[in-house]
Structure 1
Amino acid sequence: DKGPGFVVTGRVYCDPCRAGFETNVSHNVQGATVAVDCRPFNGGESKLKAEATTDGLGWYKIEIDQDHQEEICEVVLAKSPDTTCSEIEEFRDRARVPLTSNNGIKQQGIRYANPIAFFRKEPLKECGGILQAYDLRDAPETP
Structure 2
Amino acid sequence: MSTVLSNLRPIAITANGIFAGLGLSITFATVPALRAAGYPPRAWQVVYRRGAAIAISSILISSAAHFTTYYLTHDKRSLWCGVISFFSAPWTMIFMKPTNDRLGQLADTNSKEDASQLIEKWNKLQYARTWAGCLAFVLAVF
Both proteins in one fold, TM over 0.5: no
| TM-score tier (shorter) | under 0.3
Higher relative contact order (CA 8 A, sep 6+): 2
- The normalised TM-score by structure 1 is 0.23
1 or 2, which has the higher helix percentage? 2
- The normalised TM-score by structure 2 is 0.24
